[in-house]
Amino acid sequence: MQTTPLVYYFLLASLCIDFSQNEMSAHLRRQRRRMRNRGLRTNSSAGHRSPRQQRIRPPDPVAAVPSIPLINIDDGVMGVFESFIGLGGQESSYSILPGKKGHCTANGMIMYDKAVWSPKPCITCLCSKGEVICDTTMCHPLKCPHTIIPAGECCPVCSDTASSLDSSIISLDDLGELSGDSPEPNDVDNTNVLSSAHTQTEKDELLKDELLEAEIKEKKRHKKDEKKRKRKGKKNRQKHKAYHREKKPITKNRAAEEEIQDEIDEDDGPFGMPSHFPIPVPTIEPPPLPSGCSTSDSTVSCINAKLTQIPPISDPDLTSLDLTGNSITTISDEAFNGIPNLEWIDLSKNNITSPGIGPQAFKLLKKLKRLYLDGNMLVHIPSGLPSTLEEIKINDNQLHAIDEDGLQGLKNLVTLELEGNELSEANVSPLAFYPLKTLSYLRLGRNKFRIIPQGLPVTLEELYLENNQIEEVSEICFNHTRNLNVIVLKHNKLEEHRIAPLAWINQENLESIDLSFNKLYHVPSYLPKSLLHLVLIGNQIERIPGYVFGHMKPGLEYLYLSFNKLTDDGIDPVSFFGAYHTLRELFLDHNDLKSVPFGINEMRKLRFLRLNNNKIRTVPPERICRRHINDDDVHDNSEEEENEESHLEHVHLENNYINTRQLSPHAFSCIRSYCSVVLKPQKTK
């Protein structure tokens, strides 16, 4: 009878062992099925993929693995410890250790089922049926020079925006130094995670996620294929249009660029990430203009605005700057950095000095054409002027020298004004004007020249040398200036015998000479052949030599001899020979004439005659008009036509000694309107 209980006990033990083996086999099958569905990632690849990617990796073939039954304290079978070593030679993401009734152990602490904790910032772990599942917060990528993590936040932000979130921030570089309870790969105590089987609900949820993701990928692929087909059709249509319009066809490189751009556009869907995040650049407002300044279109005007320096302006569209009448003393190298497209600058009537102008002040102005520096305190021409300049005015300064490099590089200069300075032939180099290859207008008035400056540019057309101390015009001074058209030498000390016979007689383009207010005693001989306009006002001229205009072709048109000392004996009957058919204006006022000069009646193109302020007592009918005609005389049509040929429109005879009552009514018969004849007032004895 004693053997019978032993047999029953033995049979019962055998039955329990078989039952436990069957349970272990079933559990092993479920584990393998779960592995195929979940596709656990290995440690070597986990460093390159996100935790979500680790959980939804496509299933890999799983080989048979050894299983070890785990026996609890009460000899009950708790689960199976499966070794994942041997799966492709890699280890699993987590180390699996036994636990008790679905509890988890983390960092030596027991976590109950469904417990949630954060071992490190931005890492959240869940205890699910004895298994620890940890995930990391996903952050958007940033493209900015400096990124920081605000306190209490998981994701980094650009440093410019972080300051408004929290004054206490954490740098990305310091993130790795944070301590916590997250598992470390080499720390067995901190990384041991209890494993247990997922519930059927969790399996279904994972399977649904995988199916949903696969469906989204398939839709994306179809959408991309459809867009590629559309692009291909569009490219064909573009090529077709280009062919019929005879335009340049789309190249391969261009098509490839368009295809890449379209792919980028496709990726930027509602769930896509942009290729980069633009960093907003704050706009810098330019400083306001001073109170005395105004702006109009592309011009800023600060006339008499009491400025002491050039105002800081930043406007690339500005082309004109007027700073006339201020107290500016310096021009720094950075004065015009914000307005590089200036074409015109007026700095007249300031207190600018030569040392106050930086060597690079005008260097950046690549479009500057006009520069006005009149009325300042410059002692030499500023250096480093842009070659684009076409006009420079430095009148009324203190220039006392121009060396051979003073105008270097100004090859486009057309107008140069240097009046009212301390220049003379002693301090102006003969090579000073050599770099000026296009100069046509030169003003050197109110200086201290005693002779015509040497080395004048070949291209020069107008030369102004008034108010100097010039005493001589030599034969060689205009040898190389064959394009001269105007010479102004008024208010100098010239005498007719100091003008060389060959000084300008061969000039073919010289049309105007102004020799007013010199020391001439008679009209100079050897005047240019091409002369049209001769001004001799304010000299001491007593005589007009005969035939002095005879060599001119086509002939003199304007002759001004006012304020001289001409007498009746000083004008010969042939003094105006050569100008009878060309002279348009004749000024003989303010002289000592007692009668109307001979030859005026021969000037058929004369329009304006001034004989006022002389000593004339009578006007014979034949002196101004060609012939006197009485009322009783019978005249033919030819004489009438002859009188009608006169073009005289204005005659001034006031301030003489003419008795207007004794004038013949035919003295001005050739003048169309008597209102054009000025006879009053007259002088009395």
Per-residue pLDDT for 13 more than 70?
no
100 in a structural domain: yes
Give the pLDDT score at 452: 95
181 in a structural domain: yes
Across the chain, mean pLDDT equals 76
Does 177 share its domain with 256?
Answer: no
pLDDT digits (tens, 9 = 90+) for 131-146: 878 877 667 677 677 7
Phi, psi of 585 (to 5 degrees): -135, 130
Q: Tokens at residue 584, please?
A: 């348009």
Per-residue pLDDT for 58 more than 50?
no
Give the pLDDT score at 625: 85
Cα separation, 129 vs 100, whole angstroms:
10
Cα–Cα separations (whole angstroms), residue 238 to 228, 230, 249, 251: 15, 12, 8, 11
Average pLDDT over residues 96-106: 59
Confidence of residue 123 (pLDDT cuts 50, 70, 90): confident
CA nearest neighbour of 548 among 518, 528, 563, 565? 528
51 in a structural domain: yes
Cα separation, 561 vs 541, whole angstroms:
8
Does 120 share its domain with 176?
Answer: yes
The pTM for the full model equals 0.60
Give the pLDDT score at 244: 43
Give the pLDDT score at 122: 73
Cα separation, 478 vs 530, whole angstroms:
15
Q: Is the Cβ–Cβ distance between 76 and 37 less than 8 Å?
A: no
Does 117 share its domain with 250?
Answer: no
Does 201 share its domain with 221?
Answer: no
Does 127 share its domain with 163?
Answer: yes
Does 200 share its domain with 58?
Answer: yes
Does 43 share its domain with 139?
Answer: yes
- Within 10 angstroms of residue 325's Cβ, the number of other Cβ atoms is 18
Average pLDDT over residues 415-441: 95
Does 54 share its domain with 146?
Answer: yes
Average pLDDT over residues 32-41: 48
CA nearest neighbour of 448 among 428, 423, 417? 423
Cα separation, 227 vs 224, whole angstroms:
5
Range of lowest pLDDT (267-281, 317-331, 435-449): 267-281
Does 109 share its domain with 253?
Answer: no
665 in a structural domain: no
Cα separation, 346 vs 616, whole angstroms:
52
Per-residue pLDDT for 50 more than 90?
no
Cα separation, 324 vs 301, whole angstroms:
8
The DSSP call for residue 174 is G
Examine the fold and report which residue of 181, 206, 231 is the final residue of a domain before the chain moves on.
206
Does 117 share its domain with 258?
Answer: no
Question: Cα 490 to the chain's mean position, in Å?
Answer: 45
Averaging pLDDT over each range in 205-209, 486-490, 571-575, which range is the top one? 486-490
Helix (H) or strand (E) holding 587: strand 585-587
450 in a structural domain: no
Average pLDDT over residues 632-658: 68
Which of the pair, 116 or 56, is modelled with greater confidence? 116
Give the pLDDT score at 307: 93
Q: Which residue bears the tokens 């004004």?
A: 417
Which of the pair, 388 or 236, is modelled with greater confidence? 388
CA nearest neighbour of 428 among 451, 411, 445, 404? 404
pLDDT digits (tens, 9 = 90+) for 581-630: 999 999 999 999 999 998 898 898 999 999 999 999 999 888 888 764 44
Cα separation, 52 vs 54, whole angstroms:
5
Give the pLDDT score at 422: 96
Give the pLDDT score at 297: 84
Domain that holds residue 253: 211-267
**pLDDT over 70 for what percent of the chain?**
62
The DSSP call for residue 173 is G
Examine the fold and report which residue of 206, 241, 259 is the final residue of a domain before the chain moves on.
206
Structural domain count of the chain = 2
Bond prior to 286 in cis (omega within 30° of 0): no
Cα separation, 173 vs 163, whole angstroms:
18
Confidence of residue 149 (pLDDT cuts 50, 70, 90): confident
CA nearest neighbour of 432 among 446, 420, 474, 449? 449
Q: Tokens at residue 238, please?
A: 């573009």
Q: Tokens at residue 427, please?
A: 């301090």
215 in a structural domain: yes
Does 152 share its domain with 165?
Answer: yes
Range of lowest pLDDT (36-45, 330-339, 379-388, 563-572): 36-45
129 in a structural domain: yes
Per-residue pLDDT for 174 more than 80?
no
Examine the fold and report which residue of 198, 232, 267 is the final residue of a domain before the chain moves on.
267
Q: Is the Cβ–Cβ distance between 612 and 591 less than 8 Å?
A: no
Cα–Cα separations (whole angstroms), residue 647 to 372, 580, 666, 671: 45, 13, 16, 8
Average pLDDT over residues 341-345: 96
Confidence of residue 33 (pLDDT cuts 50, 70, 90): low
Does 185 share its domain with 230?
Answer: no
192 in a structural domain: yes
Per-residue pLDDT for 453 more than 80?
yes
